[in-house]
Amino acid sequence: MFEKVVLVTRKTRLADLVVRFNTKKQAKFYVERAGQDFNGFEAEDDTYRRAVDGLRSQLDVGLPVQQVDRSLVPTFLFTGKEIVVAVGQDGLVANVAKYVGSQPLVGVNPDPARFDGVLLPFLPRDARSAVQRTLEGRANVRQVQLAEARLQDGQRLLAFNDLFIGARTHVSARYEVRYGGREESQSSSGVLVSTGAGSSGWLSSVFALAQGLTRCTGGTPGKPWTLGWEDARLAFVVREPFVSRHSGADIVGGFVTAQEELVLESRMPQGGVIFSDGMEEDFLTFGAGATARIRPAEQRARLVVH
């Protein structure tokens, strides 16, 4: 069934700086000139490299191991016959999950002292047993609901945590929104659509703001929306809608299902985007005339857990 193990890695802060400044010496000069401790950069890089080196030997389960950098994942050809192991921060798992299809994904925490590891249930020493159980069909797997944005020309973008639809810069986003049998022209800071996995992240900060303002004005705050990772619904909120003669604020949030899509039609001549999981380079252009249909994706991420 499985033909190889794909080990997805990422560049550390130090590795990124070496690419930027060409040498480690120049990177050190830049960091120390900024008043930061270069030893922390070196320690993080060393810990990560040792974890990756150890994983390569740990993952010797009789299948070829192919190491792929995170930047190459969007263009990597997944055939459906790989076990994917992502070693890095939680965000690495979220971004890889959109591209691997139905293949099982094993998240490995290389540095528990630095990373929370919500999506990284395994330490490097546990990775071999997790992969072995997956090969034998005995692994526990969580089916995580993804979000999907699809344009009228067929372009599609998936999100593990959330989608953002709006303007690339700080200017207001202008669009028409259709939801629940209603439609409205809006001008706002953009629309946030969250999955269950992402509901404790960006979405929760929107509710924290709303609750704080409600308390400040003498009101009674409501409860934030929480969704399970497997929940087939998405939650959307409109960020800072502006009321004017040409824009309203009646449609400010709700739940998106397979039967109840969220539809947005751009009225931005330029700078409109849809991006996923906080990765601005992972985007669709959402300019004037573009229509995006937001709904739960048919594809689900399959995360291997304990």
Q: What pLDDT, on the 0 to 100 scale, is given for residue 279?
A: 83
Average of pLDDT values for 114-119?
91
CATH topology of domain 145-298: Tumour Suppressor Smad4 (2.60.200)
Q: What pLDDT, on the 0 to 100 scale, is given for residue 5?
A: 96
Residue 240: left if φ>0, alpha if ψ -120 to 50, beta else—which one? left
Q: What pLDDT, on the 0 to 100 scale, is given for residue 229?
A: 96
At residue 278 the predicted structure's pLDDT band, cuts being 50, 70 and 90, is confident
How far apart CA 10 and CA 304 sit, in angstroms, is: 20
CA distances from 120 to 40, 91, 213 (A): 22, 10, 34
CATH topology of domain 4-139: Rossmann fold (3.40.50)
With 0-12 / 13-18 / 19 or more C-beta atoms within 10 angstroms meaning exposed / middle / buried, residue 47 is middle
* pTM, entire model: 0.92
The tokens for 240 are: 């800072």
Give the residue extent of every domain in the chain: 4-139, 145-298
Contact between 284 and 153 (Cβ < 8 Å): no
How far apart CA 186 and CA 172 sit, in angstroms, is: 10
Q: Determine the residue type at 183.
A: E
pLDDT digits (tens, 9 = 90+) for 289-298: 999 999 999 9
Contact between 288 and 267 (Cβ < 8 Å): yes
Average of pLDDT values for 165-178?
95
At residue 282 the predicted structure's pLDDT band, cuts being 50, 70 and 90, is confident
Contacts of 127 (CB under 8 A, 6+ apart): 55, 58, 59, 85, 106, 108
Q: What pLDDT, on the 0 to 100 scale, is given for residue 281?
A: 80
Average of pLDDT values for 21-27?
96
